[in-house]
Copies of this chain bind each other. A is one copy, B any other.
Amino acid sequence: MQIDPERLYQELARLGEIGAYTDDRTGLRGVNRLALTEADGAGRRHVVQSMLDLGLGVRIDKIGNVYARQEGREPGLAPVMIGSHVDSVPTAGRFDGCLGVLGGLEVLRTMAEAGHRPRRPIVVAFFTDEEGCRFGTDMLGSAVATGRLSLEQATGLLDAEGNRMGEELQRIGFEGEHPVELDPPYAYLEVHIEQGPVLRAHGVDLGIVTGVQGISWQELTILGRSAHAGTTPMELRRDAGLAAARINLFLHELTARIPGARATMGAIRPEPGLVNIVPGRVVCTVDLRNPDEALLAQAEAELAAFLVQVETLDGVQIEARQTARTPPVAFDPAIQARIEAAAKGLQLSTERIISGAGHDAQELARLCPTGMIFVPGEHEGISHNPRELSTMTQCGDGVQVLLRVVTELAEA
């Protein structure tokens, strides 16, 4: 069986017109289907219609997750589930999330055209508010379906204007009747754009995702002493900006020593921030990531020890506040092996890759063997941006491998 890359790409373009806008500065066409807005509702209705057109049974749960089911030859068996999301950040492209959902429908469409009826049921799902931009918690729908968050916690969340998540869900007509608890699927698969530069830089066709990195965010407040840049000798300074610079360089040294570590100081705000004043106070952020929990904890511990050294070295006081912390998730090795074999059979090159971003798959991994296929991105893998682009071939390759793996798993 062969999926149709052109048809898949057209479906991506059609969905990408819902919530589309033209960026004033660049003239590029972007997408804004922020969760539970009218545009998200329109995108959802469009995808549900495609599901119904394929003759699938559609079920919507109380958090708005949508499940479309192709019955198998043995209806009692746990299904193979394919999924992702169709909500977007406010300045999105058309690939993030949508590729996984429309790719799943393309798999079912291809099977239907071939008259192929798998042993196990196949479910294509899209989960509510994966992006988390509006209500502050990402992977919201899949977290509720897999028990990490309660329905009450999720529907009680407020957006910046004070709108309750549950009411917004009702407003767009996607508060379903089915209970949110998801029966464990036999396996879960998600095709997604990489959202990074690695696969494209390495000239690799597809990525086999080994897991999702653990994330540790800290906000550091460094208190020194503001002083006149002309009149204050170097040895009498307590330069909070210098302390931040030391920490930034230390983070980068750390990543050279700790396998798999990534570290970023994204925000640095010196006060008063004037050319001729030694900064008396700096607030800066630290983003640490690692696919291995022990190594992530090691990076946190080494940083904490270094902050004490900096306090002495620069005569500053540093307060560290943890602002986010999620443990790493490892995907199923057997499914990784199946993805690799399927790609090999199609003469597509692959590379094992860790996901730096969060995905619904990491929530599903609590319920069942889970795998992800990454598709390379052009423009250095830029994402959450109208320049986000994966080619028809790149998208088609990912979904063709998905078809093979799903077909196998659905017979197991």
How far does the alpha carbon of A195 sit from the alpha carbon of B231 in the complex, in Å? Answer: 7
User: Does chain B have a CB within 8 A of A45?
Assistant: no
How far does the alpha carbon of A217 sit from the alpha carbon of B276 in the complex, in Å? Answer: 9
Tell me the residues in window 234-267 of chain A with beta carbons closer than 8 Å to chain B beta carbons.
234, 236, 239, 241-242, 244-246, 248-249, 252, 255-256, 262-267
User: Does chain B have a CB within 8 A of A59?
Assistant: no
Determine, out of A75-83, A221-229, A300-308, A360-368, the stretch whose residues face the partner at the interface: A221-229
User: Does chain B have a CB within 8 A of A285?
Assistant: yes
Determine, out of A8-16, A47-55, A196-204, the stretch whose residues face the partner at the interface: A196-204
Q: Are A249 and B246 within 8 A (Cβ)?
A: yes
Q: Are A233 and B195 within 8 A (Cβ)?
A: no
The residue that A266 contacts in the complex, of B225, B270, B356, with Cβ under 8 A, is: B270
Given contacts A236-B198, A248-B241, A252-B242, contact A275 B229 (CB under 8 A): no
Tell me the residues in window 344-359 of chain A with beta carbons closer than 8 Å to chain B beta carbons.
355-357
How far does the alpha carbon of A236 sit from the alpha carbon of B227 in the complex, in Å? Answer: 37
Q: Which residues of B contact A249 (CB under 8 A)?
A: 242, 245-246, 249
Q: Are A241 and B265 within 8 A (Cβ)?
A: yes
Given contacts A217-B275, A228-B196, A249-B242, contact A268 B268 (CB under 8 A): yes
Q: Are A356 and B228 within 8 A (Cβ)?
A: yes
Q: Which residues of B contact A233 (CB under 8 A)?
A: 196-198, 262
User: Does chain B have a CB within 8 A of A295?
Assistant: no
User: Does chain B have a CB within 8 A of A20?
Assistant: no
Q: Which residues of B contact A128 (CB under 8 A)?
A: none
Residue from A213, A256, A357 with most neighbouring chain B CB atoms (10 Å):
A357
Interface string of A368-412 (1 = CB under 8 A from B): 000000000000110110000000000000000000000000000
User: Does chain B have a CB within 8 A of A98?
Assistant: no
Q: Are A196 and B232 within 8 A (Cβ)?
A: yes
Q: Are A225 and B270 within 8 A (Cβ)?
A: no
User: Does chain B have a CB within 8 A of A309?
Assistant: no
Q: How close is A255's CB to chain B, nearest CB, in angstroms?
A: 5
Residue from A266, A274, A381, A384 with most neighbouring chain B CB atoms (10 Å):
A266
User: Does chain B have a CB within 8 A of A187?
Assistant: no
Q: Are A279 and B262 within 8 A (Cβ)?
A: no
Q: How close is A329's CB to chain B, nearest CB, in angstroms?
A: 13
Q: Which residues of B contact A356 (CB under 8 A)?
A: 228-232
If A245-B246, A266-B273, A268-B273 are given as contacts, then 17 extra A-B residue pairs at C-beta distance below 8 Å, sorted by A number, are: A197-B231, A197-B232, A198-B231, A219-B275, A228-B384, A229-B266, A230-B289, A231-B355, A231-B383, A233-B262, A234-B262, A241-B248, A241-B266, A249-B249, A266-B276, A267-B273, A269-B273
